[in-house]
Amino acid sequence: MGYRIGVDIGGSFTDFAVLDERDGSLRALKVFSRQDQPGAEVLEGMHQLQQRYAIAPGEVSYFTHGTTVGVNTVIQRKGLKLALVATEGFIDVLELARLKIPNMYDLFSRRPTPLIPRARAYGVHGRIDADGRETTPLDHECVAAALHAAVAAGCEGVVVALLHSYRNTAHEQAIKAIAAELVPGLPIFLSSEVWPIIREYERTITAVVSGYVQPRVAHYLNSLQQALRDVGVTPEPRITKSNGGVMSAEQGKSDCIQMILSGTASGVIGAAFVARAAGVARAMSIDIGGTSADLALILDGQPQYGVGETIGEFQIYIPSVSVSSIGEGGGSIAWVDDLGVLKVGPKSAGSNPGPVCYGRGGTRPTVTDSFAVCGLIGGAGLGYDAVKVDRDAARAAIAPLAGRLGAGVEATAEAIKDLCVSGMYGGVSGLVSRFGIDPREFTLIAFGGAGPMLAPFLARELGIGEVLVPPTPGVLSALGGLVADIKNDFIRTIYAGLTDGVQDRLREGYADLEARARHWLFVDQGYNGTSTLSHSADMRYAGQSFEVETPLDPQAVATGDLAALAEAFHRRHEQLFGHCDRHAAVQVINLRLVIGGPTPQPVMAEIAPAAGPPPIVRTGTAWIDGAAREIPFYRRADLLAGHRFSGPAVVAQDDCTTVVPPGCTAELDRLGNLRIAIAGAAP
């Protein structure tokens, strides 16, 4: 018995969640992130855990880690210099993409420059058809010429993405073998190995992003493994994945596309854990950190999944927790444009220098500084006393903006907060439209360092009736890594009508996926517990262009019950689009399988009941809703089950600050969740 540690690195802070396996209790910690020296924050956190909680590295039995190295590599365009080898005549696949402009309302909007320019795309002679048959043999001399040209152009790796390789990998494998002979040591990335899906652009861009980030991800993971060994942490670290699971760091070095959205997924998994424990069936999670706000939907305790999530300027097509990211966070910088209009973001102060009120060299005012000026933060240390808030410095930073706007400093600070909330409102509207939901039917689970500070104001605008703030909201993403299952996705394209004769193909396809899945979990990952299998398929009506992922009953697959499989698709189509056609022909494009190995879960112990009113630590003047008000300040650690109070009020704790707006009521439930009933919601 020891300690299980989850770590999540954000733009401003690195969060630690520690589960004591002896009693199921949780501990938490925050340290500053080190963008200049990634990984150093992990070692600093381990040092502080030993000092603060007497947790020795040798007592760590399990270590999970969420990282943004991959996504930052794409955003900063600091990845591998790659070449693309494609089927002759199809080298423009990255240039053409899907012929969509990023912003349909902007005539000057332009598609991003591909990660591999056309000058480094080489066509090779040879062809596999849509049924997986070789119609033209691969020209080895043509392949050799392409590889030599790539080396001559200074390429550090080659992505191979040939037509219909999802059906037949022979030509891609042959190119890999030729490269091993002619240019040994040159990294080769095959689209059929990265994620073998139908559709050329989707498969190619996913493989390109995977190859682009691989060296930096592998270097980071090597450094992490060595650093943990150096301080005495012996378990092999696991990395959180885009699909909300975890995998070994060794697998992450080669299968890095699966972990590219690990940080955002971890937060949603943590919020889903809280929703299940609290009995919240319909929830939206909002994770607000220093640089962004991430929104997700949780139904019946389960996150919603999808494909096509955006990494920097590009979509990738692996299964991921569906997250909508908004460019506003606590570190977003406020400024006034040339027309005298107040703006917030998209630039962020990050962790270095951070908000002005942190006293770490920041000079440009942020959203966090606006809360400091309004007197809503600063009564206690932030980030486990990593920060002492300097309200005067924040006022001095916002004063020039107030001067340009002709407004008071407090009024300008509140306008910054309101503008940030307005930007988040637009992002939530996109999520609402995507899933066809009514936000008024949902509870908003707020976490991240700035989530509980901003979420109640956002809920008020959206008409959401309740905000739930977990006991340790500032480190919920790190907790998500701890509670995540060991999980992996598998896919196989069959492209067939759901008609008599397809039953054997379905059974054979799923048998192959199940064999691969069990080998991955029990052999590759060294797991020795029970496992779960989830079957689904990408299905559509004949003639449709895109598919709907549909959960399937494995018993219906085993018995060949095509009527039950078709009915599952009809119901799913009707659920998403409000209609279905039970007389139309149905096609199955891809078979999907997810295997999971459950991990130990922490116990959310019930807290003691309150015997009296909640103790007020102090009262102070705060600017809120356009006026200076005398408000009470509470300490989260002092609140017990049943404690209830009205806003305006502030609740301070080590990892974040919660603001309860005027007219709202907050109450602590039996699990220590702060439940805020929102009044004055917009219609």
pLDDT for 119 equals 96
Per residue in 473-495, pLDDT (tens digit) is: 888 888 898 889 999 999 999 99
Of the pLDDT bands very low, low, confident and very high (cuts 50, 70, 90), residue 24 is confident
Indicate the class that CATH gives domain 486-597: alpha beta
Query: Is residue 467's pLDDT more than 70?
Result: yes
Going by pLDDT thresholds of 50, 70 and 90, the confidence category of residue 150 is very high
More confident residue, 582 or 295: 582
Q: Using only the alpha carbons of the chain, give its radius of gyration.
A: 26
Instruction: Report the percent of the chain where pLDDT is more than 70.
Output: 96
The three-state secondary structure class of 620 is: strand
- For residues 580-604, average pLDDT: 91
pLDDT band, residue 514 (cuts 50/70/90):
very high
Separation between Cα atoms, residue 486 and residue 550, nearest integer Å: 22
Instruction: In whole angstroms, give the CA distance from residue 588 to residue 498.
Output: 6
pLDDT(59) > 80: yes
Place of tokens 């990984």: 39
Q: Taking the CB of residue 499, how many other CB atoms lie within 10 A of it?
A: 12
**In this predicted model, what pLDDT tens digit does every residue of 82-100 receive, in sequence order?**
999 999 999 999 999 888 7
What is the pTM for the complete model shown?
0.85
Q: Which of 35-39, 47-51, 216-220 has the lowest mean pLDDT?
A: 35-39
Among the listed residues 602, 674, 604, the one whose alpha carbon sits nearest the alpha carbon of residue 640: 674
Q: Is 60 exceeded by the pLDDT of residue 381?
A: no
**Mind listing the pLDDT tens digit for each residue in 162-184?**
999 999 999 999 999 999 999 99
- Tens of pLDDT, residue by residue over 5-20, are 999 876 667 889 898 8
pLDDT at 43: 84
8 Å CB contact between 46 and 25 = no
d(CA 1, CA 623) in angstroms, rounded, equals 49
663-683: pLDDT as tens digits: 999 999 999 999 999 976 554
Lowest pLDDT segment from 177-191, 200-214, 287-301, 565-579:
287-301
The per-residue pLDDT for 157 is 96
Q: Does 304 have pLDDT greater than 70?
A: yes
Domain boundaries, the chain: 81-186, 486-597
Dihedral sign of CA atoms 182, 188, 190, 191 in order: negative
